[in-house]
Amino acid sequence: PQAVSQLQGLLSKNPNNTPSLMTLALVYERMKDFPKALDAYEKLLATQPNFVPALNNLAYLYTERLNNLDKAYDLARKARELLGQDAAVGDTFGWVLYKRGDYQQALTILQESAGKATDNPEVQFHLGMTAYMMGQTDLARLAFRKAASAAKDFPGKDESKRRLALLESGTGASPALSISQLEAMTKEQPNDVVSQMRLGDAYEKQGASDKAAAAYEQVLKLNPKLAVAITKLAQLNAGPLQNKEKALGYAKKARELAPADPQVAGILGKVAYQSGNFTWSYSLLQDAARQRENDPTILHDLAWAAYSLGKVNEALDAMQKVLTNNPDSSQAADAKKFLALTALDENPKELVAAEIDVQKELKSNSEYVPALMAEAALDAHRGQIKPATEMYNDILRRLPDFAPAQKRLATLYAQDPSTVAPAYDFALKARKTLPDDPELSELLGRLSYEKKEYPRAIQLLQESARKRPLDANALFYLGMSELQASQKVEARGVLNRALVAGLQEPLATEAKRALADLQRE
């Protein structure tokens, strides 16, 4: 009271004296007379609107005592604009953002301020609370440890100790909390993000997916921008909860919040794969793999995403890296199996010898696509066209862009005049993914001939011939296409080569007739 009287005496002579108004405001704050402190700060700012200490203190007063976060934000932001490098100013602005629920932006600012004010326990407390709400438990633990161990008391000291104790449970000598303990804690402290996250994790381990999802959803009510909780919900919905739409929705949110995080990209890539969005899965996992080249989980998931789009060579490369770089990883066994079964599709001799292995795999996992491809190839090899086409169609129902199945189906359909149209369609689809495949070029060349598209047939068959020698049948279709396109000299040479190569009936008779007609001209 004496100090107040003295200051009021000074101000009666000079009402706009900045030091006197500032000191009076601070005295009123210590006396907990916050309305009078507010009045003193406002009088000061009326004459000195850019006086940063007053802006900063008044922002803090509005935050902690007067419960007006909008005014606090305007004042703190102005102070930050005027004195951006000051640790105290940054701390106040960061704390206002925290109180407004903008934890992501607050964290960046408070990390900067705490780095400049390492011995200030209140700044460390603010950083700890913000990191805590962002699920960054290591950063929160470190900040709370500094705050809790400070010699002087401050308003957040007890809270620092409580949160630190929770963060250290289950680490070192501290026992992990049971589900019942976590349930009790979240009931008592429903706004505690870490307790809710740990409860969700505990429910997940117990197999209680619905309860886990409810815990993570509660976390999002507290912090809608917490990427780790959103990622968990994406995983749960893609997996045990089987809600693809929700899974992809959460995955997109998580990606928006953490666009540069390879771990998030890797997890979301798997979620997108499980949800049937193979193109996005492939893109996410490519991004993750660029940043974590030798991560066996990311490489393994990338291989499957690439394979689902028919990018078989890329899938083989990724799986081989899993085996080469991480032979003892949990993904190595599947990588070995994947490589062995995928190789069978291009190797008819080994296919028959591996039949028992294929059957064994399908017995344990009836949806393992490399084994299904091998089984379909075995059926086709034995002339069992119907079961082979059914199996390829079944694969394409699951993997609509799987070019190897499209290619094999096109080959089988091309054998029957009644299914030439779908054969052509499947071949065209497969070519989008396999533009350099000589077998596919050859098949499309033959189908183009049958559609009377002779220049196109010539182009495709010549393209195939540049990569591998054409067999007698392919030479026949090339020669006949050249004949129809009035390329008679070329046609004569190619048709003769077809006959020399052992062209069978009825094509041989047709080739001889065409050559005879050419001879008479």
Domains of the chain: residue spans and CATH: 345-435 (1.25.40.10), 439-521 (1.25.40.10)
Q: Are 352 and 379 in contact (CB under 8 A)?
A: no
Q: Are 287 and 266 in contact (CB under 8 A)?
A: no
CA proximity to 473, closest of 384, 411, 386:
411
Per-residue pLDDT of the chain (521 residues; tens, 9 = 90+): 789 999 999 999 999 999 999 999 999 999 999 999 999 999 999 999 999 999 999 999 999 999 999 999 999 999 999 999 999 999 999 999 999 999 999 999 999 999 999 999 999 999 999 999 998 999 999 999 999 999 999 999 999 999 999 898 876 656 778 999 999 999 998 999 999 999 999 999 999 999 999 999 999 999 999 999 999 999 999 889 999 899 999 999 999 998 999 989 999 999 999 989 999 999 999 999 999 988 999 999 999 999 999 999 999 999 999 999 888 888 999 999 999 999 987 787 888 889 999 999 999 999 999 999 999 999 999 999 999 999 999 999 999 999 999 999 999 999 999 999 999 999 999 999 999 999 999 999 999 999 999 999 999 999 999 999 999 999 999 999 999 999 999 999 999 999 999 999 999 999 999 999 988 87
Q: What backbone torsions phi and psi does residue 204 show, to the nearest 5 degrees?
A: -60, -50
DSSP state of 242: -
Rounded-to-integer distance, Cα 266 and Cα 425, Å: 34
Q: Are 341 and 358 in contact (CB under 8 A)?
A: yes
Tell whether the torsion through CA atoms of 255, 257, 260 and 261 is positive or negative.
Answer: negative
CA proximity to 426, closest of 439, 413, 442, 445:
413
Q: 43 burial class (0-12, 13-18, 19+ CB within 10 angstroms)?
A: middle
Encoded tokens for 207: 């197999």
Q: 483 burial class (0-12, 13-18, 19+ CB within 10 angstroms)?
A: buried
Give the predicted TM-score (pTM) of the model.
0.76
Rounded-to-integer distance, Cα 478 and Cα 354, Å: 36
Cis before residue 506, ω within 30 degrees of 0?
Answer: yes
